[in-house]
Amino acid sequence: MLDHIGITVPLSRFEEVVVWYLAALTPLGYSKQQEFPGHGVGFGPDRFNITFWIGAKEGENVAATHIAFRCSDRETMEKFYAEAVKAGGKDNGKPGWRHQFHPKYYAGLVLDLVGNNVEVVDHGVPR
């Protein structure tokens, strides 16, 4: 199941892009739900469903995609990570806690063969 997706934009255009998405997504019921000033903004219908992220990075050619898949347990997430690296992906965040997002956020991240950031996350809550 898809959990969230994110894009990276040049830091020099970050605020402009955030304002544009805020206007464009309002009719869909999305609003700014979480913010890391100057670094990232999460949009969604409420604070429990932040499904679209915009991140900022220095430079002009920094466009990248982040996609996160949801799973229901840490064992499955760890199997994803092991298989993805074994198949040629590059570590971008070993399996572990990401408490900066919320207390039960357990995830692993791998860059795919062309550099997209792929994450699998267990939120530690029954679905």
Separation of alpha carbons 87 and 112, rounded Å: 9
How confident is the model at residue 3, as a pLDDT?
A: 87
Q: Which amino acid would we find at residue 18?
A: V
The 10s digit of each residue's pLDDT in 90-106 is 999 999 999 998 999 99
In this model, does residue 126 exceed pLDDT 70? no
**Cβ-based neighbours of 67, under 8 Å, separated by 6 or more:** 2, 4, 5, 6, 116, 117, 118, 119
Q: Tell which residue, 126, 109, 106, 108, has the closest CA to residue 117.
A: 109
pLDDT band, residue 127 (cuts 50/70/90): low
Could you list the residue range(s) of the whole structural domain that residue 99 is in? 65-122
Domain presence at residue 127: no
> Strands of 90-97's sheet, edge to edge?
31-36, 40-44, 52-57, 2-10, 64-71, 117-122, 106-111, 90-97
- Least Cα distance to 71 among 111, 127, 109, 117 occurs for 127
CATH number of the domain encompassing residue 84: 3.10.180.10
| CB atoms closer than 10 angstroms to residue 101 | 14
Which of 60, 84, 103 is a domain's end point? 60
The reported pTM is 0.67
**CA pair distance 121, 97, nearest whole angstrom:** 10
Q: Which of 12, 28, 60 marks a domain boundary?
A: 60
Same domain, 75 and 39: no
Q: pLDDT, tens digit, for every residue of 65-93?
A: 888 888 888 898 899 899 999 988 899 99
In the predicted model, is pLDDT for residue 38 greater than 80?
Answer: yes
Whether 47 and 12 map to the same domain: the answer is: yes
Q: Which residues have CB under 8 Å from 71's CB, separation 6+? A: 1, 77, 80, 120, 121, 122
Which of these, 38, 39, 57, 55, lies nearest to 4 by C-alpha position? Answer: 55
